[in-house]
Amino acid sequence: MAGVNAARSLRYARRHARLSQRELADRSGMPQPALARIESGRVTPRLDTMSRLLEACGYAIEIVPSAALDRSAIRRLLRLTPRQRLDLAVTEAGNLDRLLRR
């Protein structure tokens, strides 16, 4: 669940539903210690697990395509040969290395 903090999202949903971890555990069928591990950030749940937990709090996961994705950059890279992509990667790695050494 890239871009989403599962621990923070679950804690928010549970608190806004006015549920304790024990109550959410009972509603979702998940052991309370597992909920605690997710909320503490020690464990990242699978999407189906997170969806089940959020639904038990009265929320749902909605997947929205990102408008910020620049497909033109992807198309430009796909037009390159494998050797050109490798050369570009080497060049960009060198640029990154120089930036990090500053």
% of residues, the chain, pLDDT over 70? 93
Tokens 């060198």 belong to residue: 94
State yes or no: pLDDT of 2 exceeds 70.
no
pLDDT band, very low/low/confident/very high, at 17 (cuts 50, 70, 90): very high
Examine the pLDDT at 67 and tell me if it is beyond 80: no
Tokens representing residue 63 in the block: 């997947």
Helix (H, G, I), strand (E, B) or coil at 76: helix
Q: For residue 8, what are its two tokens?
A: 């923070």
Distance CA 52, CA 79 (A): 42
Structural domain 6-56, CATH architecture: Orthogonal Bundle (1.10)
What are 80-92's pLDDT values in tens digits? Answer: 999 999 999 999 9
pLDDT at position 34 is: 96
42: its two tokens: 């020690």
Model confidence, pTM: 0.61
> What single string gives the DSSP state of each residue in 30-49?
--HHHHHHHHTTSS---HHH
Side chain identity at residue 92, one-letter code: E
Q: Where are the domains of the chain?
A: 6-56, 71-101
- At 74 the pLDDT is 85
